Chains A and B, each alone.
Chain A
Amino acid sequence: MLAKTGFLHELKKNRVLFIMLVPTFIFFIINNYLPMAGIYFAFAKYDIRGGIFHSPFIGLKNFEFLWKSNILLQITKNTILYNTIFIFAGNFLQVFSAILLSRLIGNLFRKITQTLMFLPYFVSYVIMGVLVYNLFNYEIGFINTTLRGIGADPLDVFNDPNLWYALIPGFFMWKWIGYGTVIYLASILGISEEYYEAAELDGANVFQQIRHITIPLIIPTFIILILFALGNIMKGQFDLFYQLVGNNGNLYISTDIIDTYVYRSLVSNFDIGIGSAAGLYQSVFGFILIMVVNFLVKRKNPEYALF
């Protein structure tokens, strides 16, 4: 006799609901859970003939290589450095533009500019590669022809690693400003009108209202978004880096992140062991960070916790 609460009983009672979930089950098992078995490659010497069962176990040798060759340090440093800039510069710019838009007089102007600021979100990363070419090509790029036009020296971005510390964040902010502004604008528009009306009666001008009402009330949203972004600080923006920099070895010192390194180990070198090891390192650290962030958020305000 089956217990009334058992799994089989549920399965029978909600047969149709389970069937409706079958595609979802299959998808996540094939796409996400089964590949986790491939983590074994991180501890193995990959054998091209045999796959997972014929690749001998070599312990931590792959990690040792990454560590001793200093690659791990460099790609970790770059990943964290860029993500930190993205998170802080990106969010500040988005909050700033959302605050300005929210108090702007003129609905049409606001609608048009907000729509146009959202445009970069919709285009593919390949297009960003075209933009870099179009703007920064040494001979014919728009910025360089303009610089020459005013008698200044052109920028040789493809041979100067340092310029990318500014270029990549610039393009990141360009891509995401519209998206982030939408989030913050929604949060600002959720603030009750009554606060502003009361402040108006007390004689507070628009700057004072922003300073004492808008900013304090969106700070919780801001902090939550920053915290969760920090939890993902080990995850690099692969598309962005790959399309902007590509396989330009001159620039790796300042532009190689964990994700581009893993991609190259797979595609250019077919170094399965090393690629898996770097990927696993990223996954494990990312996982720990998210758990820590979620724990902190949960303690402060359980409503915002992810799980």
Chain B
Amino acid sequence: MQARNKGSAVILFNIFAYTVILITTILCVLPFWLIIVGSLTDNASIAVDGYHFLPKVFSLEAYKTIFMFPQTVAQAYTVTTLNTLIGTSLGLFFMSMAGYVLSRKDFKYRNRISFLIYFTTIFGGGLVPWYMMVSGILKLKDSYIALCYPGLMAPFLIILMRTFITSALPDEVVESAKIDGAGSFRTYWSIVLPIVKPGLATVGLFLALNYWNDWFLTAMFITTPRKYELQFYLYNMLSSYEALNYMLSSGVTIVTNPPSESIKLAMTIIATGPVLLFYPFIQRYFVAGITIGAVKG
């Protein structure tokens, strides 16, 4: 009797859980489906009928138009890709060094310095003074450096890196390296870095995602369209018709009547493509980072 009762509770629970989780998942994915469908719908049909769950009139014209004039998109892609690569590599190098030094128990000031880093998350001068610093004093207006340097380091990622190093590296290893005469940098380079590869992957992916998805720094500092990052390029195209025409012009040729609605969505897919393709394979690193980061504050 009791066993049956238990069995029915399990069935009931699973019916409920499957239903709720399935609906939640559909709600999470549905908007992406609608964007893909919209990008594959004939533009005239969108203007008349609006967006639907399935394309009313299937068409590839949006993608064809974009690939006919790939210069400006390709430029934004290049800027974003290079910025992501350079920023992620430099950031990883700097933050893993910091994480290593701050994990060394024989480094006297590690707690004080950690606090100074952490303090920046609880108090700051605000956006305006920061902007005045970068544009007025550092004179980085319209410079690629303004797109790269602000994302190099983040307190959360330094602390995450330190946690990875502390848990992967027993004190004895550092001690014995010291006895063998290896200097601190040498220990970091040839012992610490190889051991914390999963940590490097996690922190690196957080960094790369931030760089890839950034639109704010372009909005703040960049005035030359050639230097736009991909997300801002997309944002700009969505918000102005002139920007759309800029994209679709290459010197002399200008498209009359561009498929404006479906192009917006096709461009969204193109700008998000790499993330959509890679995220199923890299998400476990984010899961590891979030889990460790949440435990440690």
Contacts and interface: CB of A to CB of B under 8 A. Distances in A.
Nearest to B13: A206
Contacts of B234: 126, 130
Interface string A254-297: 00000100110111000010011011101100110011000000
Interface in A234-267: 238-239, 243, 246, 259, 262-263, 265-267
Interface stretch (A79-87, A103-111, A212-220): A103-111
Given A34-B133, A115-B283, A14 B184 contact: yes
B179 interface: no
Contacts of A291: 122
Contact of A123 (B18, B213, B238, B283): B213
A206 B10 contact: yes
B100 A272 contact: no
Interface in A86-120: 96-97, 100-101, 103-105, 109, 113, 115-120
A163 interface: no
B252 interface: no
A179 B158 CA distance: 20
A20 B98 contact: yes
A150 interface: no
A46 B49 CA distance: 52
B13 A35 contact: no
**Most chain B Cβ neighbours within 10 Å, of A39, A141, A182:** A182
A16 B51 contact: no
Contacts, number: 277
A58 interface: no
A203 interface: yes
Contacts of B286: 118, 121, 182
B128 A103 contact: no
Given A16-B184, A116-B28, A142-B34, A130 B268 contact: yes
A117 B97 CA distance: 34
Interface string B229-268: 0011011001100000000000000000000010011001
B6 to A, nearest CB: 5
A276 B117 contact: no
A307 B125 contact: no
Interface in A179-208: 179, 182-183, 186, 203, 205-207
A279 B50 contact: no
A142 to B, nearest CB: 4
A33 B101 CA distance: 21
A67 interface: no
Nearest to B279: A122
B108 A10 contact: yes
Majority SS at the chain A contact face = helix
B32 A141 contact: no
Contacts of A30: 133, 138
A177 B28 contact: yes
A203 B5 CA distance: 9
B57 interface: no
Nearest to A23: B94
Contact of A100 (B20, B28, B219, B264): B20
A141 B50 contact: yes
Contacts of B123: 283, 286-287
B215 interface: yes
Given A20-B98, A134-B265, A279-B125, A38 B132 contact: yes
A230 B264 CA distance: 38
Interface string B38-77: 1000000011011111000000000000000000000000
Contact of A203 (B2, B14, B116): B2
B17 A183 contact: no
B224 to A, nearest CB: 17
Interface string A15-52: 01101110110011011111111110100000000011
B9 interface: yes
Interface in B89-113: 94-95, 97-98, 100-101, 104, 106-109, 113
Interface string B6-36: 1001100110111011101101110110110
B28 A205 contact: no
Interface string B187-212: 01000000000000000000001001
A306 B132 CA distance: 31
Contacts of A145: 49-52
Contacts of A164: none
Given A24-B94, A134-B265, A174-B31, 8 more contacts: A19-B185, A24-B95, A105-B10, A130-B238, A131-B35, A177-B28, A276-B126, A279-B127
20 contacts: A14-B108, A24-B117, A27-B94, A27-B153, A32-B125, A103-B17, A104-B18, A109-B21, A116-B25, A117-B24, A118-B286, A121-B286, A126-B234, A130-B238, A130-B265, A140-B47, A182-B290, A275-B128, A276-B128, A291-B122
Question: Which 7 pairs show the lowest CB-CB distances between chains A and B?
Answer: A38-B129, A279-B126, A145-B50, A205-B9, A124-B213, A140-B50, A275-B128
